[in-house]
């Protein structure tokens, strides 16, 4: 598929921004579908779409939550378009499955460079996925089927809860990255983080270790980084 025939979903609660982005994209030959909320984005998304441009802060379902729900089934690239540019926001965006971040106000060249770069990488990746490659993520005996939400360890299929699977997938797909309890809770539970939430994360990490570690008391896969969080290394 040529990039200029790509189908893009533009999601923002501000009509003016949607209009400006649509005009820019259509001037390059892209097909654009608009959505004014997270709920509308999920309703209007179709598997043939090639890119989602997604505002973070919207009434109702946030952009992060939309991203997480799309990531449960689809690998479509997601570009966050937002006024929020703090490090914590960037971390949250990437940990929820976003591919790139563009701050408002943005320039025409910036937008087109990000869009075309994401589409180019996606079409290369999609070609591999269609041929049966890259459907799986593997690391040190762990194996995930990212399309069917299944996991194995040392050849043995794991009986994971939904939350355990999502924790494992998030950390495995971002090996080496440190996830704080807040990152994990807001990404997996999709709820605001409060102090007691760290205990919920800790309990789920402990149960997950019991299923994937040879010695859960001395984990070799899911490491604790004291004072910072957890990572797979």
For position 131, what pLDDT does the model report? 43
The per-residue pLDDT for 103 is: 83
Q: What is the pTM of this model?
A: 0.55
- Burial of 151: CB neighbours in 10 Å, binned 0-12, 13-18, 19+: buried
State residue 218's pLDDT score.
94
Both structure tokens of 183:
């990152």
pLDDT digits (tens, 9 = 90+) for 36-72: 999 999 999 998 899 999 998 888 888 888 988 887 7
Residues of the chain with pLDDT under 50: 1-3, 127-134
pLDDT attached to residue 59 = 87
Contacts for 184 with CB less than 8 Å, ≥ 6 apart: 95, 167, 170, 201, 229, 230
* pLDDT on residue 3: 46
């Amino acid at each position: 598929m040529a990039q200029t025939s790509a189908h893009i979903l533009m999601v923002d609660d501000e009509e003016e921004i949607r209009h400006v982005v649509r005009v820019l994209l259509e001037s390059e030959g892209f097909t654009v579908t608009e959505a004014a909320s997270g709920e509308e984005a999920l309703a209007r998304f179709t598997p043939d779409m090639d890119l989602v441009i997604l505002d973070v802060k919207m009434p109702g379902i946030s952009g992060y939550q939309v991203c997480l729900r799309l990531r449960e089934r689809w690998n479509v690239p997601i570009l966050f378009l937002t006024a929020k540019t703090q490090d914590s926001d960037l971390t949250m965006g990437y940990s929820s499955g976003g591919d790139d971040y563009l701050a408002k106000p943005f320039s025409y060249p910036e937008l087109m460079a990000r869009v075309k770069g994401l589409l180019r990488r996606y079409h290369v990746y999609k070609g591999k996925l269609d041929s049966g490659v890259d459907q799986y993520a593997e690391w040190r005996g762990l194996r995930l089927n990212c399309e069917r939400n299944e996991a194995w360890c040392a050849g043995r299929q794991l009986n994971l809860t939904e939350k355990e699977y999502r924790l494992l997938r998030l950390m495995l797909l971002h090996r080496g990255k440190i996830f704080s309890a807040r990152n994990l809770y807001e990404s997996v539970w999709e709820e605001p983080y409060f102090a007691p939430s760290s205990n919920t994360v800790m309990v789920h990490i402990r149960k997950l270790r019991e299923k994937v570690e040879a010695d859960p008391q001395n984990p070799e896969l899911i490491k604790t980084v004291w004072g910072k969080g957890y990572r797979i290394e």
